[in-house]
Amino acid sequence: MKSFITTLRIKTFLVLLSGIALLWSCKSENQPKIVDFNKAVTGEVRAVLTDAPMVPPRIEAKHNTKVIVELEVIEQTMRLADGVDYTFWTFGGKVPGKFIRVRQGDLVEFHLHNHPDNMLPHNIDLHAVTGPGGGAEASLIAPGKSAQFSFRALNQGLYVYHCATAPVGMHIANGMYGLILVEPLEGFPPVDHEFYVMQSEFYTTGKFGEKGHQDFDMQKALDERPDYVVINGAVGASAGENAMTVKVGETVRLYLGNGGPNLISSFHVIGEIFDKVYVEGGTLINHDVQTTLIPAGGSAIAEFRCDVPGTLHLVDHSIFRSFNKGALAQIKVVGDENHNVFTGKEKEEVYLPEGSSIQRISSGKQSAAAEVIPEKNLQERLAAGKTLYNQNCMACHMDHGKGIAGTFPPLVNSDYLQALPDKGIGVILNGLQGEILVNGNKYNNIMPAVSLSDDQVASILTYIFNEFENGGGLIKASEVRDWRDKK
Amino acid sequence: MLLLSFVTISLSSQNRGMVLIPSGSYKPFIKGQADQLKVEHFWMDEKAVTNAEFLDFVKANPKWSRAQVKRLFADQDYLSHWRTDFVDQNNSQQGNAPVVNVSWFAANAYCTWQGKRLPTLSEWEYAASALPQGSKDSSSLQEIIANWYSRRSQVENDAAAFYKSEFGLWDMYGKVWEWVYDFNSVQYNEDSRNMEESPEGLFCGSASLNANDASDYATFIRYAFRGSLKGDFTVRKLGFRCAKTIENQQ
């Protein structure tokens, strides 16, 4: 009897204790809210949908409402890289698909339309849906048909949506994914800029940069060996002229997604630290993060404040994907320097330890130098040179050959380049190290030798001489060949 | 012996424009069926039914015209690419292109009117498995399919323009999808990843993917397409051709 009472007391104590724990945990800011889905919503709004890198405005209503989403599936041929086309299957005409923004507790009335010119049936699986297949079963439609279904946004978070029609992998590999944000009813804390950034891979029959229309390569997809890893659907889609722009002192929130279909992204912004990351797009918040993982079919939300001017590079830090396969986007931060945060280069001196020598960037065991290609005219050289420059040179020498002061010498109106008797052929083929003087500024860095064909070298240099104010002229592949022969 | 009787049959004028598909077997896509499915010999149209041919049918059977067709049998896009109810297109090239935007009911009625029928799914799959003439390598067929899937097809093309198979059939792949009689006999699940619950275990997505076989992958799409259809549906890239049973088998 006594022992029974003791047990009872202990039980009571435990119940009390757990009650306290429950009360305490309710105070935690990360405690998920529960939606009363039996409570009706009031009014309705039509969702504003946006293409990357733009994010729709948040819905202003103070109460939960019905949100009508109209999304159209369009199969169309578009640019994957300069000179490279691909027939994408899209949600809304672009890759990634339209950004959808609703609030926790909202009722979403979803309309999926399959354009009559399309060849294939499609559907949609939204990870934000609680229900069979995330809506996939309810939305399978033949070309020329529409489907409608409704769901209640029960959980807060940033969710991937994608097509789930057989063969699922191929539908995703061809571009059928996007993000849907379910934000708290009261919204996230305000920031100055919000951007939509989504990584994904493409598996093409041709190698990276190979010209013309590229078809989907199923074997490469099975082997998980993409030729393209891109941010926002194409090489350079949100870089260079298309870069996102903010001012010094402003805050940025990135809605990050990864469409896959296969790779996990080690997402990193060169030159920034994430002050805050909503881990995997959920309610868990981490602080002071350098690189955050974005699973295939998953997301993350990252926030930071831009304290100094410059260009931020958004990369997958599985870094060959960024510098050789296209996974690079940029945010340009404009405004005044703040030397209390970053000084720029204060001092520079020669440091040559043992074993430092020029590395080679090789595209294969044998250089393509021997390949016989007919000489191109000026127009052809300029067109080919632009793409080759963007692929091989721009990461360091920057857009329009501007270079980076003190680190990468400019190519625009370069006295150094113009004075070279071989017009720079040697620099590309052999690389360059040691101190040089360019337009009055000293540079001391190492440029790797780039393994390109005679034809490609001629095109790049013709492009640099004509487009970057270096006096013009047409450099022939035969000149490059002669240079090689002399060696 | 069999071959001789085929020759006799093929000389019959009522089967003009059709080719004889010899008996044989093909590897079915669906797991759990036999390794090889046997298909009896039959006649098949050598090319897809064209706009011009379908126009003759509509003129002879006005109840199948755009204005008179029952909504139950064809949705509102039925023959929507035609200029008017009784004019298919304004140039001969398009007249020779495969008719599209036809429902299963309309396709079935056309074949019946011709004294024919729609091919069964098995017949169609078996007939389509024949390689392009002169090709010994199955990858040539896979290439045609893959290119078709990854580029937009041109339905304006002539119905017989692209490739002719060893069976003498034009363009089974590469131009338009084609109705089959029992298009809905495979209970395709709307969510293609649903494996345990698919009825009768007919559909197994990952099995096909794991098969690591390009032609299987292509087949997957074809089955998914059929699974998205209903009998009254019309689609801008979906046509048909007819088949005929060989009645007099000596």
pLDDT digits (tens, 9 = 90+) for B72-115: 999 999 999 888 888 766 555 578 889 999 999 999 999 999 99
Span A431-477, pLDDT tens digits: 888 889 999 888 888 888 887 888 999 999 999 999 999 998 999 99
DSSP reduced 3-state for B179: coil
Residues of A in contact with B205 (CB under 8 A): 166-168
Q: Which domains does chain B possess?
A: 2-245 (3.90.1580)
According to the model, what pLDDT value does residue B37 have?
82
Is residue B192 within 8 angstroms of chain A, CB to CB? yes
Nearest-CA residue of chain A relative to B223? A166
The ipTM (two decimal places) reads 0.76
Candidates A87, A127, A165: best to mutate against B (most CBs of B within 10 A) is: A165
The C-alpha of A137 sits at a distance from chain B's nearest C-alpha, in angstroms, of 5
Furthest C-alpha separation in chain B: 51
Q: Could you say which of 3.40.190.10, 3.60.20.40, 1.10.3470.10, 1.10.760.10 is the CATH number of the domain covering A365-486? A: 1.10.760.10
- Which CA distances in Å does A372 have to A165, A425, A453? 45, 18, 10
According to the model, what pLDDT value does residue A395 have?
80
Task: Name the β-bridge partners of A328.
Answer: A315
**DSSP one-letter code for A82:** T
CATH 1.10.760.10 domain position(s) in chain A: 365-486
Instruction: Check pLDDT > 50 for residue B118.
Output: yes
| Residues A461, A475 contacting (CB under 8 angstroms) | yes
Structurally, at CATH architecture level, domain A44-183 sits in: Sandwich (2.60)
CATH 2.60.40.420 domain position(s) in chain A: 44-183, 193-334
The rounded percent of chain A whose pLDDT value lies above 90 is: 63
Q: How far is CA A48 from the centre of its chain?
A: 22
| CA–CA separation, A163 and B27 (whole Å) | 28
Span A178-223, pLDDT tens digits: 999 999 999 999 999 999 999 999 999 999 989 899 999 888 998 9
According to the model, what pLDDT value does residue B206 have?
38
Instruction: Check pLDDT > 80 for residue B155.
Output: no
The C-alpha of B6 sits at a distance from chain A's nearest C-alpha, in angstroms, of 37
According to the model, what pLDDT value does residue A458 have?
93
- Across chain B, mean pLDDT equals 79
Structurally, at CATH architecture level, domain A193-334 sits in: Sandwich (2.60)
Could you tell me the pLDDT band of residue A9, with boundaries at 50, 70 and 90?
low
Measure CB to CB from residue A136 to each of B191, B212, B225 and give the nearest one: B191
Q: Provide the Cα torsion A352, A353, A359, A365; round to 10°.
A: 150
Instruction: Check pLDDT > 50 for residue B32.
Output: yes
| CA–CA separation, A369 and A114 (whole Å) | 48
Strand order in the sheet with B18-21: B18-21, B42-45, B243-245
Q: Which residue reads 């930071």 in tokens? A: A304
**DSSP one-letter code for A91:** E
Q: What is the pTM of this model?
A: 0.73
Instruction: Check pLDDT > 90 for residue B7.
Output: no
Nearest-CA residue of chain A relative to B219? A167
- Which CA distances in Å does A462 have to A241, A267, A467, A470, A472? 22, 36, 8, 10, 7
Q: Do A170 and B217 touch (CB under 8 A)?
A: yes
Provide the b/e sequence for B106-115 (b: ≥16 CB within 10 Å). bbbbbbeebe
Instruction: Check pLDDT > 80 for residue A122.
Output: yes
The C-alpha of B16 sits at a distance from chain A's nearest C-alpha, in angstroms, of 31
Helix (H) or strand (E) holding B224: helix B214-227
Q: Do B227 and A140 touch (CB under 8 A)?
A: yes
DSSP alpha helix (H) spans, B97-158:
104-113, 121-128, 139-150
Residues of B in contact with A145 (CB under 8 A): 228, 233
Span A295-348, pLDDT tens digits: 999 999 999 999 999 999 999 999 999 989 999 999 999 998 888 888 887 776
CB-neighbour burial class of residue B169 (10 A; exposed 0-12, middle 13-18, buried 19+): buried
